[in-house]
Structure 1
Amino acid sequence: MSDATFTFRVNDELKSEFSKAARSRDRSSAQLLRDFMREYVQQQQRLAEHDSWFKEQVNQGLDSANAGSLVPANDVEAKFAARRALTQRNIEKPQR
């Protein structure tokens, strides 16, 4: 892989402070910038993978909904209301 030059402007104070920070870690400014660039690219790849996964999950949910395999909210509410009531009765039962 061939190297390329990346040129950009930054104010003198920021450049000086960045150089000091790099030297304090025994790194050159260029090494740190390459590291930051690599990390950024990897972060963007992870975000793209997550976005792809999330969209797939949404599509699966939509497909499931369109196929009619969902349980109506009222049925779920009624089922868990009954469970809560049973639990409450068990809590309130006198211990023998």
Structure 2
Amino acid sequence: MDLKMTEATFTFRVEEELKAAFTEAAKADDQTSAQLLRKFMRDYIKQQQEAADYDVWFRQKVQKAIDSANAGDLLSEEDVETEFAALREEARKSSAQ
């Protein structure tokens, strides 16, 4: 199967000095301006998708915690303090060795 990439032209205005500096920086990195712009675009899309995925994950975790609390599945302050006191003591012993 022969898959061909369809291309589109992306045109935008930029200051001449910025364009010149960007072109020089790209050349210094042995790339064209177009190569770098495509990479920046892909990276930006990936970053936005990762942020959206994290937001969904985080909201699900928060909702699960809210549902758990509403169902009465809670730890008392004393239970939390006891558990973390034991963890702190264990960490102290580990660091002392």
TM-score past 0.5 threshold: yes
Q: Which of 6, 10, 13 is 1:6 aligned to? A: 10
Which structure's CA Rg is the greater one? 1
Pairwise CA distance, 1:75: 5.3
| 1:1-96 superposed matches below 5 A | 1-73=5-77, 76-77=80-81, 79=82
Aligned to 2:95: none
CA distance in 1, matches of 2:79, 2:16: 66
Relative to the length of structure 1, the TM-score reads: 0.76
SS of equivalent residue, structure 1 residue 33: helix
Tell me the number of residue pairs that the alignment of Structure 1 and Structure 2 aligns. Answer: 83
